Structure 1
């Protein structure tokens, strides 16, 4: 495997759904924790979190990190909403360009994802039943992904598409459908495939030659089943301790890594957490930093 390992702000509770008013780990404290644990890169996180322009480049250089990728969620199945969201894509691409000015060893991958729907987000793993995507809407999704991919490539980057629980590309069948209609590579997220009821071993076999980005996480499947059985949605998944440090869950990390031995790209370690407004941020940082040391050490047999 010719790859590099990156961490992610979401592993420190920093992402688009961080609760209003919640204390968050600072970008410098996060980068320092990842650097000390031996990571080579970091994902972008919310636009501007790591800075912009010279500030972004200086922060990455100070901690010896490169930008691995970044989440760009767009409403691909609705034409009007997609048009209105293109400014968000343009903003993200400017940030990728800012980071790329430093001449990194690997270019970051803008990580496209569908925004799904409220009904799907409330019923992860059951999206096709609770909110099926019509043929016309699926055609719009594929067409608009191609438009976004063209913009990414015009900016000098290669796109990747993230299948994600609670969106319109969630299940193995939906992933198959997407790949059949697009030449964009796949961000293989082991945790979200588990949430969608898919088999990791089967996913590696089916999509291995299309995977150009890897999001690696461990999952407490008993906790997943408990949350979903009680009617919980993605918010409860993120806040419910589903994603755990490597070795504490049920994901066959070794099987995924061995199965993707030919993979060449970024392995982004994600341990999604959603911290509440009353979190003790110093203790939270210590716990998250310890988890990321555990996660990085678990991959040293391969990287």
Structure 2
């Protein structure tokens, strides 16, 4: 397995401000420096990175700049993350326009994977047909990714209609998209991440790792929370997946580079010894 780290830790996650009035422009982004993030990730010993579509958009008119940063740090751009509501028919064309742009950017910068989250929770609750809508739309997302030579996977996420194991089950039977287990989000949604990986071994296409503490609630560097990470990695191995493990930590109280180093040391030890 190869190790990568998401640039999200250098600034957290926000949506592009223009997206408030223009859905087609509602890209994800982190407001930290991508140059600093790439340098720190490479210095920590990772081989790859994942970025938000909005951060790639910043380099769309000067792709050589980002490619140079990645080359200098010895990193591959492994994957690109995007997301949308996916259940509102009238805005869906603009959301898929944005997904297509994310796929174009991913292909431009050499990534092989498109990771998506989403499935909005309505103010009145969750109508059952929204799972049909989400499943159908994720199939369209998969087709867009394939048109650009990318592999697509779905990332269950808190605040969406796919938080709990039961909700994940409802979705997975309705779509062909791959599964990107995020260890902390699955746990925070009431699931056992290792059990859910073992439930869908043939659907694993990407993996997000972060640790989790329920009280007080926090996402944490690997080894600093309550998750059984040895069992999680064992489940990933049992599935036959033997590719990128991406550490994706939303925020950190100290310097992001410190969190990257902490998780890298933990993963190196775990992959070498199994514990």
Is the TM-score greater than 0.5?
A: yes
Match of 2:101 in 1: 91
Match of 1:13 in 2: 11
Structure 1 residue 274: Cα displacement: 7.7
Q: TM-score, normalised by structure 1?
A: 0.77
Q: TM-score, normalised by structure 2?
A: 0.85
Q: What secondary structure, in the 3-state scheme, does the structure 2 residue paired with 1:163 have?
A: coil
Structure 1 residue 65: Cα displacement: 0.8
Q: 1:82 to 1:64 in 2, by over 3 A?
A: same
In the alignment, the residues of structure 1 paired with residue 249 and residue 74 of structure 2 have an alpha-carbon distance, to the nearest angstrom, of 21
Report 1 or 2 for greater relative contact order, CA contacts < 8 Å, sequence distance ≥ 6.
1
Residue 298 (structure 1) aligned with residue 274 (structure 2): no
Structure 1 residue 24: Cα displacement: 4.7
In the alignment, the residues of structure 2 paired with residue 140 and residue 115 of structure 1 have an alpha-carbon distance, to the nearest angstrom, of 9
Q: What secondary structure, in the 3-state scheme, does the structure 1 residue paired with 2:54 have?
A: coil
Structure 1 residue 251: Cα displacement: 1.0
Q: 1:17 to 1:243 in 2, by over 3 A?
A: farther
Contact 2:180 2:204 in 1 (8 A): yes
1:80 to 84, 90, 95: 90
Residue 112 (structure 1) aligned with residue 116 (structure 2): yes
Structure 1 residue 265: Cα displacement: 2.5
> How many matched pairs?
255
Structure 1 residue 296: Cα displacement: 0.5
User: What RMSD, in angstroms, separates the aligned Cα atoms of the two structures?
Assistant: 2.4
In the alignment, the residues of structure 2 paired with residue 167 and residue 244 of structure 1 have an alpha-carbon distance, to the nearest angstrom, of 21
Match of 1:35 in 2: 42
Match of 1:194 in 2: 187
Contact 1:45 1:70 in 2 (8 A): yes
Structure 1 residue 139: Cα displacement: 1.5
Q: 1:294 to 1:158 in 2, by over 3 A?
A: same
In the alignment, the residues of structure 1 paired with residue 231 and residue 16 of structure 2 have an alpha-carbon distance, to the nearest angstrom, of 32
Contact 2:8 2:51 in 1 (8 A): no
